[in-house]
Copies of this chain bind each other. A is one copy, B any other.
């Protein structure tokens, strides 16, 4: 699409503005005319599709099957689980009528008051209720378990302040819902799916994550435990990137889902649910990108390599021929590549545009270089350029993509690790949290302390992290004994 390239606001000037501009200018998404709802543009959607395909394969590898449940949920379903209704029934889109009619002046339509629903329907904010209402008919015996279901769909939560990908009223996600015969099996599944998310985040998105368990206050409404992966953005803030919930028998009881166990006795089924959403796009963008635009991990880049020719019109046939040969060879190596020999844009414009779009590798094929058997290679992550022998360039690029994937993960991890601090002094914490970062602090385990920290610093307990040494200590706020250290940060 014809447009002039404009420079982005620098991250150091205004990180938030940089992000908002980048999402729009890189053609990822834009605000729609429907309040809080976004349009995901083709380039952004292509990245989301790659995420979906990989995650879907990972879920199926663990035995999960996809299905589809209704968009609309009867209002009374939400009230069945006491905590769930508190968390989700409040800000949601309510369908009250099922018909419009022509208005009196015959120039528009109005709601037909005769078409009022007996019971209002809610656009799903999450689907535990409708799915467990269905599971009731699917689960009768222990032989029907485990039941491992996932759905890819849209959901809606009426958000007052929205930001593209990070917080929108409508978003796309997957929600897994499983039912089990035992508590242990359900807990194991909830943890297993967290591992799948962490694996995906680190090995495909190249986003390092802290895995852990949420405090009671931060749990999913209706869960006994919420597991989370937390990523650090370049401004030191946390982005909750995926959650997996152990729901106990709460939904089994609320929707009367009982099965006969091996001893032929009825028991309520045990539940998990787990989800990641288009919010991952926000994590991806904010973790790697720079002042020139997007930086995409090769594993998720819709186009991994772009080839741009530079030559006079009479040199183009030769350049086209060579480029097409390289394209063919790269495709044979499963590399996605685009040859851009369009003549209505200057090379400089193309360079900036593909940088903005985060294409991991750029090859510039110059007429003079071709004579000398070399080609210019630029890697997007470091912006380094070098001249490489054109002979064997395909394998070189293939290896370079691997290298970029590893390098951007390392860069993000180094940054993250350098901004995790141990802190046992609340005054120090209050001062340092202003600059961002993850703080490991002893916590007395009370929601009062948690609330005080949030109130005074806008920081929240992100999780009790796994894999760190835990030991008794003194809560930095209350001075009471602490059994474990928690990860505290300001968050998106």
Which A residues lie at the B interface, using CB under 8 A? 1-2, 30, 32-34, 37-42, 45-46, 48-49, 65-76, 78-79, 85, 89-101, 107-109, 111, 120-123, 130, 133-134, 137-138, 140-141, 143-144, 149, 153-154, 156, 158, 170, 172, 344
Residues of chain B within 8 A (CB-CB) of A141 are 2
For A156, give its contact among B71, B85, B107 (CB under 8 Å).
B71
Tell which of B2, B32, B40 touches A130, judged by Cβ atoms closer than 8 Å.
B32
On chain B, the residues within 8 Å of A170 by CB distance are 70-72
Contact status B41-A67, CB under 8 Å: yes
Least CB distance from A144 to B in Å reads: 5
Q: How far is the CB of A342 from chain B (nearest CB, A)?
A: 10
Distance in Å from the Cβ of A161 to the closest Cβ of chain B? Answer: 14
Task: List B contacts of A130 (CB < 8 A).
Answer: 32-34
Q: How far is the CB of A315 from chain B (nearest CB, A)?
A: 25
What chain B residues lie within 8 Å of A76 (beta carbons)?
A: 108
In the bound complex, what is the Cα–Cα distance between A49 and B130 (angstroms)?
22
Q: In the complex, what distance in Å separates the CA atom of A68 from the CA atom of B32?
A: 11
Q: How far is the CB of A345 from chain B (nearest CB, A)?
A: 10
Smallest CB separation, A207 vs chain B (Å): 22
Of residues A32, A40, A100, which shows the largest number of chain B Cβ atoms within 10 Å of its Cβ? A100
Q: Max chain B CB contacts within 10 Å: which of A1, A48, A137, A158?
A: A1
- Residues on B with C-beta less than 8 A from A154 are 71, 153-154
- Tell me if B79 and A107 are in contact (CB < 8 A): yes
A118 CB to nearest B CB, Å = 10
Q: Report the copy number of this chain in the oligomer.
A: 2
User: Are B66 and A42 touching (Cβ within 8 A)?
Assistant: yes
* Most chain B CB inside 10 Å of its own CB: which residue of A33, A75, A122, A141: A33
Complex Cα distance A353/B244, Å? Answer: 35
Bound-complex Cα distance A37 to B124 (A): 13
Q: CA–CA, A39 to B133, complex, Å?
A: 11
| Chain B neighbourhood of A40, CB < 8 A | 67-68
Compute how far the CA of A68 lies from the CA of B158 in the bound complex, rounded to whole angstroms. Answer: 19
Q: How far is the CB of A138 from chain B (nearest CB, A)?
A: 6
How far does the Cβ of A449 sit from chain B's closest Cβ, in whole Å? 28
CB distance from A34 to the nearest CB of B (A): 4
Which residues of chain B are near A65, meaning CB under 8 Å? 42, 45-46
CA distance A41 to B151 in the complex (A): 11
Residues from chain B with a CB closer than 8 A to the CB of A153 are 154
> Is the CB–CB distance between A93 and B95 below 8 Å?
yes
Which B residues are CB-close (under 8 A) to A94? 95-100, 111
Q: How far is the CA of A78 from the CA of B108 in the complex (A)?
A: 9
Contacts of A85 in B (CB 8 A): 109
Which residues of the partner chain B approach A149 to less than 8 Å between Cβ atoms? Answer: 42
- What residues on B are CB-neighbors of A91 within 8 Å? 98-99
Chain B nearest Cβ from A259, distance in angstroms: 10
Report yes or no: A97 in contact with B96, Cβ–Cβ below 8 A: yes
The 8 Å CB contact of A109, one of B33, B78, B107, B144, is B78
Shortest distance in angstroms between A94's beta carbon and chain B's nearest beta carbon?
A: 4
Closest-by-CB residue of B relative to A108 is B79
Contacts A38-B70, A70-B34 hold; do A123 and B95 have CB atoms under 8 A apart?
yes
Complex: A1 Cα to B142 Cα, angstroms:
9
